[in-house]
Amino acid sequence: MILTVTLNPAIDKTYRVQELVLGHVNRMKSIENIPGGKGINVGKILCQCSCPVTATGFLGGYTGRWIEERLKETGLVCDFVHIGADTRCSMNVVADNGYVTEILEPGPWIKPEERLVFFGKYRELIQKCDLAVLSGSMAPGLAEDLYADLIEIARDFGKRTILDTSAEGLVQGLKAGPWLVKPNRRELEYVAGHRCRSQEELLDAARNMLSDRAEWAAVSVGEKGMYLVGAKTALFAAAPKVDTVNTVGCGDSACAAFALSALKNEGPKQMLVRAVAMSAASASTFESGSVPLKLAQDLMDQVKVVSL
Ligand SMILES: Nc1ncnc2c1ncn2[C@@H]1O[C@H](COP(=O)(O)OP(=O)(O)OP(=O)(O)O)[C@@H](O)[C@H]1O
Ligand SMILES: [Mg+2]
């Protein structure tokens, strides 16, 4: 079983409007709500792949209950800490003139006692799981080294972790040595402290993310494809061409693919093929946190891995 952790989930609201005008009343043409958050997306994709998965993190209020109900309908096992404050909403306003405006709430403040309950739950759950996927931003009130603590706890129980986050949460988490880290180019450059202008610079920065304990850095470079770097390995696979509809959440599909590979004990080449195929398939659907599995399977035959 896989455990996914989402510290700051959201109801993702997609509004459609003709044109969004600042300072005016804007009437939306339609609205669609789905449970959101990177860990939740990973969980939904794993569920689609018939992989047993438990989702944890923090949920609160009416919005939290709504997310939990929807997730249970999709077959995801939920074991969240219920907090006093309301889970946030994230708004995406898609206008007919092509502009997409995102309005992101900070999310509820997590109290110290709620954090403690979460750690107790995580300790219990990780023992029943093979691997934990730690994805997305920290919630307000949580320290930047929280992912580092979760990685250490998993290791104490002999369990692997996948880390997909940004900024200081990523920097601190790396110190604990996750089994695999999945930065995109921007996140890699944040950790490196400089732009990576050549492939050599990118590979160096990726190797610097590894330690005796962190085995793999999977650096995603959007529609170009993905690198997979280990102590003695550097691989690249170009992304196959698909009719791209929405690339938000492609990284989540890659993380789900790596979790599946870990369960199947696949080698690095096969891991990269699966991740690149599943994330390309995800780009072809509007909904993030969803992968057309037949397409992903077909794309696996097209992905070619090169050793660098
Ligand atoms: N247009 C595309 N066509 C095919 N594959 C794509 C496309 N965009 C992204 N991918 C695949 O998805 C992987 C992850 O994408 P990306 O680098 O954008 O991740 P990300 O920035 O972490 O995304 P997010 O955090 O929104 O999930 C890429 O390495 C690539 O293999
Ligand atoms: Mg990402």
Q: Ligand 1: residues whose CB is within 6 Å?
A: 184, 220-223, 225-226, 239, 242, 244, 247-252, 254, 276, 279-280, 283
Ligand 1 pocket test: pick from 227, 250, 258 the residue with the most ligand atoms within 8 Å of its Cβ.
Answer: 250
Please identify every stretch of the chain with a pLDDT value under 50, giving residue numbers as ranges. none
Structure confidence at residue 290 (pLDDT) = 87
Ligand 1 pocket test: pick from 41, 162, 188, 220 the residue with the most ligand atoms within 8 Å of its Cβ.
Answer: 220
CATH number at residue 17: 3.40.1190.20
Distance 218 CA to ligand 2 centre (A): 11
pTM comes to 0.95
Structure confidence at residue 137 (pLDDT) = 92
Ligand nearest to the CA of 244: 1
Structural domain harbouring 261: 2-307
Catalytic residue among 96, 252, 298, 301: 252
Structure confidence at residue 196 (pLDDT) = 96
The answer to whether 214 and 177 are in contact (CB under 8 A) is yes
Which residue CA neighbors atom 30 of ligand 1 most closely? Answer: 225
Structure confidence at residue 288 (pLDDT) = 79
Dump pLDDT digits (tens) for 136-189: 999 999 999 999 999 999 999 999 999 999 999 999 999 999 999 999 999 999
Distance 69 CA to ligand 2 centre (A): 26
Structure confidence at residue 245 (pLDDT) = 86
Ligand nearest to the CA of 221: 1
Which residue CA neighbors atom 19 of ligand 1 most closely? Answer: 251
Structure confidence at residue 44 (pLDDT) = 95
Structural domain total, the chain: 1
| 12 part of the active site | no
Structure confidence at residue 229 (pLDDT) = 98
Structure confidence at residue 100 (pLDDT) = 87
The answer to whether 167 and 202 are in contact (CB under 8 A) is no
Structure confidence at residue 50 (pLDDT) = 94
What is the number of the ligand 1 atom nearest to the C-alpha of 280? 5
